[in-house]
Amino acid sequence: MQTAHSEEWRPGFAKRAENFSDVCAVAEGWRWSPGETIARVAGAVLKGTPTLTIPQRMTLLIYVEHLNQERLEQDIACVWPSTALVAEYLGCSQSQARANRRALEAAGFLVRDYTRANRPAGVEAYDLRPLMARLGELEAVDDGIREAMEARRAAYSDNVVFPSKYSARAPDSRRLEQSHENFSSPVRGKDAAPPRHQDHSRSAPRPGNRQDRNDSGQRPASGKDSAFGSPKGASGSGGASLAPSVYAEMVRQELRSAAQACPRLAPLVTPALLADPLSAPPEVCAQVAAAAAEFLPNPERNNDQTALWGWRKHGPRVLVMLAICLEDPEVRSPCGYFGRLTGQDRGAADLRLNLARILRGKGEVPPPAPVEPAVVEEEPPPLMFQPGVEDHPWPDIAGHLRALVREGAWGSWFGRVGFHGIVDGVLTLSTPTGIAADKIKRDYKAAILQAAEAAEVFVDTVVVTIRKR
């Protein structure tokens, strides 16, 4: 095929797009450069043509797929797929395929050669040199899309008002900033001021009971007993909500059962490890990683790295997990199941039932596990609607603020706001939802500062937190 704008080229009788001369000039100026491959061109078309419709983009990708790398390196970018073939690939009519091609030619991505004398084969021929010349432009569009996505993510992160959450439980004292029991997590020092008075005699907040679901989906339903972390599902928990001594005893029992269920790992369960399983030395971690690399199948899955990662979360219980993956006959993918077990949160699974089921399958009856006494939880104190709103000087500030904010907006955004004190010019408020916190910080921060100035209260910074329900 002759060049798209050479002297021998004859345009024929078909009507050309208005930008035909410019497109031909771009095609004439293109020369192949190292690194311009068909795969790179296909990627640029796929990600750098958001202005094209999906059928048009798929049509252009079909033309790109017909390029030849050797001819491309000779500055030849001609392809000859017929309209019937393109329509067959796209699953559309030939008239639709022609419409897609005309749109691509009008957009400056290709030039159709109507000259029969210069056509080496087929019924139609297309010159993709205009597309090759715009390769950098398409990749720049792709980079712009990625930069816009990163900017949006940065904007989303800027809208997070405060990561700490206040509890809505009623405090013993009306001054919430002086009570440690009203916080579910500590406040970062750079965002909020410390409490005025710290009473170390007060008890720390009771940690919540965390329940995680873990279902590996490894085996069909059956009537056999199942345990948490087993291929079928779980019933039972342990670790995070147990006292340290109870948790250590649970790990000790798991290690003994693991050594009995998996003799290959029995040498790693030493008396020193059983004496103090929660203070295992790093040498044991290296031995468990080596055992995972040796005994688990599919060494390309970096089983030793999975064991090291799991050790940081579970400690010596990774040895128990490895024993279950090696000895449980119902685990179809030991490597995948080992990764799922080590991915659980620390203390989320009690593996003694898994080991008991394995030992029963081998004809060995394990000793009964001790029954843990039920933990009786205290009834939580009542929830507060607006904590701290009666504390000085918030009533004075709120009175001036209400005069600056419309009545409807006040009821929507300040109706459930809480006041948590002013320390060194930092006014701390809380809301039950992140939407209200974002709205107050974005639209009413200046009004709060103005109201504080009218109330003759020094406020330099307003911090809005999310109150835990």
Residue 212 CA to residue 242 CA, distance in Å, equals: 15
254-257's contacts with Cβ under 8 Å and 24+ in sequence apart are 254/317, 254/320, 254/351, 254/352, 254/355, 255/316, 255/319, 255/320, 257/320, 257/352, 257/355, 257/356, 257/359, 257/366
Least Cα distance to 342 among 310, 367, 319 occurs for 310
Query: CA distances (Å), 55 to each of 71, 80, 104, 277, 332, in order?
Result: 27, 19, 11, 62, 43
77/196: higher pLDDT? 77
Q: What is the mean pLDDT of the chain?
A: 74
- Collapse the DSSP code of 66 into the 3-class scheme (helix H, G, I; strand E, B; otherwise coil) and give the result: coil
**The pTM is what?**
0.34
Q: Which of 46-50, 205-209, 214-218 has the lowest mean pLDDT?
A: 214-218
**Residue 154 binned pLDDT confidence (cut-offs 50, 70, 90):** confident
Q: What domains sit in the chain, N to C, each tagged with a CATH number?
A: 20-141 (1.10.10.10), 165-194+385-468 (3.30.300.180), 244-349 (no CATH)
Res 26 pLDDT > 60: yes
Q: Looking at the predicted structure, is the pLDDT value of residue 119 above 80?
A: no
SS (HEC) of 253-320: HHHHHHHHHCHHHHHHCCHHHHHCHHHCCHHHHHHHHHHHHHHCCCHHHCHHHHHHHHHHHHCCHHHH
d(CA 422, CA 465): 14
Closest CA to 60 of 33, 35, 41, 73: 41
Residues near 17 by beta carbon (within 8 Å), at least 6 away in sequence: 23, 105, 106
DSSP-derived secondary structure for 121-132: SSS-EEE-HHHH
Of the listed ranges 79-88, 178-187, 231-240, the least confidently predicted one is 178-187
Worst-scoring range by mean pLDDT, 105-119, 183-197, 312-326?
Answer: 183-197
Higher pLDDT, 227 or 44: 44
Binned at pLDDT 50, 70 and 90, residue 156 comes out as: low
What residues contact 212, with CB distance under 8 A and at least 6 apart? Answer: 344, 345, 348
Phi and psi angles of residue 115, each rounded to the nearest 5 degrees, phi first = -80, 115
